[in-house]
Structure 1
Amino acid sequence: MLHLRTMAPATMTADILAALECDDAVTGLAVFRGAAVRPAGDLIMAQVAREAANDVIQRLRDLRVHQVGSIEMDPVGTWLSRSGFEAEVRTPGSSADAVVWAEVTQRAYDETELNWTFLSFLTLATVIASIAIVVDSQILVVGAMVLGPEFGPIAALGVALVRRRFVLLQLAIRTLVLGFVVAIGLTIVLALVARGLGWITLADVIGPRPGTAFIYTPDKWSFIIGVIAGAAGVLAITSAKSLGLAGVFISVTTVPAAGNIALGVAFGDGSTIWGSVAQLLLNIGGMALAGWLTLAFQQAVWSRVSVRRARHLRLPHRRML
Structure 2
Amino acid sequence: MRLVQVFVPEGDLNLVLETAEATGVDYAVSEETSRGEFEAVVSIPVPPAAVEPLLAELRDAGFDDDSYTVVTAAETVVSSRTEDLIGEFSGVRISREELQSRAEDLAPAASTYFTLLVVSTAIATAGLLLDSAATIIGAMVVAPLMGPALSASVGVVVDDDALATRGIAFQALGLLAAVATAAAIGWLLRGTVLLPPGFDVATVPQVRERITPDVLAVFLALGSGIAGVISLVRNVGSVLVGVAIAVALVPPAATVGLGIAWGHPTMIVTAGALVLVNILSINLTALIFLWVSGYRPHHAANVDRVYGRIRSRVAVLLVGIVLLSVVLGGVTFGTYQTAAVEHDVQTELEAMSDDPAFGDLAFRELSVEYELIDVYADNRPVVTVLVERPPGEEEPDGFADDVRERLEVATGVDLEVVVELVDTRRSG
Displacement, 1:188? 2.8
1:147 is aligned to 2:151: no
Query: What letter is aligned with 2:77?
Result: W
1:293 maps to 288
1:81 maps to 79
CA distance in 2, matches of 1:120, 1:225: 26
Deviation digits for residues 60-112 of structure 1, max 9, x if unmatched? Answer: 23356463311111111111012222222232x23xx2231111111212323
User: Given that residues 120 and 143 in structure 2 are in contact (C-alpha distance below 8 angstroms), is that contact kept between their aligned partners in structure 1?
Assistant: yes
User: Given that residues 99 and 232 in structure 2 are in contact (C-alpha distance below 8 angstroms), is that contact kept between their aligned partners in structure 1?
Assistant: yes
Out of 131, 135, 160, the residue aligned to residue 136 of structure 1 is: 131
1:191 is aligned to 2:189: no
Instruction: Report SS of the residue matched to 2:186.
Output: helix
Q: Within 5 Å, give how 1:30-41 maps onto structure 2.
A: 30-35=28-33, 37-41=35-39
1:69 is aligned to 2:67: yes
User: Given that residues 152 and 166 in structure 2 are in contact (C-alpha distance below 8 angstroms), is that contact kept between their aligned partners in structure 1?
Assistant: no
CA distance in 2, matches of 1:300, 1:72: 20
CA distance in 2, matches of 1:43, 1:216: 59
**After TM superposition, where is structure 1 displaced by more than 6 Å over at least 4 residues in a row?**
none
1:156 is aligned to 2:157: no
Out of 230, 249, 263, the residue aligned to residue 243 of structure 2 is: 249
Instruction: Report SS of the residue matched to 1:72.
Output: strand
User: Given that residues 7 and 36 in structure 1 are in contact (C-alpha distance below 8 angstroms), is that contact kept between their aligned partners in structure 2?
Assistant: no
CA distance in 2, matches of 1:205, 1:244: 37
Out of 29, 49, 52, the residue aligned to residue 51 of structure 1 is: 49
CA distance in 1, matches of 2:189, 2:182: 10
Instruction: Report SS of the residue matched to 1:158.
Output: helix
Displacement, 1:216? 2.4
* TM-score, with length taken from structure 1: 0.83
Deviation digits for residues 17-41 of structure 1, max 9, x if unmatched? Answer: 11112122x22x1112234545543
In structure 1, list runs of 5 or more residues that go unmatched: 302-321
Deviation digits for residues 276-309 of structure 1, max 9, x if unmatched? Answer: 21111111111111111111111179xxxxxxxx
1:11 maps to 11
CA distance in 2, matches of 1:136, 1:296: 40
1:115 is aligned to 2:110: yes
Instruction: Report SS of the residue matched to 2:294.
Output: helix
* TM-score, with length taken from structure 2: 0.64
Query: What letter is aligned with 1:266?
Result: A
Deviation digits for residues 207-256 of structure 1, max 9, x if unmatched? Answer: 4223442222232111122111211111111015x136505623642111
Which shows bigger deviation, 39-48 or 277-286?
A: 39-48
* 179 and 153 in structure 1: CA distance in 2 versus 1, 3 angstrom threshold: same
CA distance in 1, matches of 2:272, 2:205: 19
Which shows bigger deviation, 251-260 or 148-157?
A: 251-260
Query: What letter is aligned with 2:131?
Result: D
User: Given that residues 39 and 69 in structure 1 are in contact (C-alpha distance below 8 angstroms), is that contact kept between their aligned partners in structure 2?
Assistant: no
Query: What letter is aligned with 1:226?
Result: A
* 229 and 42 in structure 1: CA distance in 2 versus 1, 3 angstrom threshold: same
Higher share of residues assigned helix: 1
The answer to which structure, 1 or 2, has the higher relative contact order (CA under 8 A, 6+ apart) is 1
CA distance in 1, matches of 2:31, 2:272: 59
Q: Within 5 Å, give how 1:19-30 maps onto structure 2.
A: 19-24=19-24, 26-27=25-26, 29-30=27-28
In structure 2, list runs of 5 or more residues that go unmatched: 297-428
Q: Size of the alignment, in residue pairs? A: 295
Displacement, 1:131? 0.6
1:310 maps to none
Query: What letter is aligned with 1:135?
Result: L
Instruction: Report SS of the residue matched to 2:42.
Output: strand
Out of 254, 258, 262, the residue aligned to residue 267 of structure 1 is: 262
* 74 and 205 in structure 1: CA distance in 2 versus 1, 3 angstrom threshold: farther
CA distance in 2, matches of 1:269, 1:203: 15
Which shows bigger deviation, 99-108 or 110-119?
A: 110-119
Query: What letter is aligned with 2:119?
Result: L
CA distance in 1, matches of 2:234, 2:80: 24
Deviation digits for residues 153-209 of structure 1, max 9, x if unmatched? Answer: 111222123223232221111111122223332343333222364424795453422
Larger CA Rg, structure 1 vs 2? 2
CA distance in 2, matches of 1:180, 1:274: 15
CA distance in 1, matches of 2:291, 2:200: 41
CA distance in 2, matches of 1:163, 1:202: 55
User: Given that residues 144 and 256 in structure 1 are in contact (C-alpha distance below 8 angstroms), is that contact kept between their aligned partners in structure 2?
Assistant: no
Instruction: Report SS of the residue matched to 2:41.
Output: strand
Query: What letter is aligned with 1:158?
Result: S
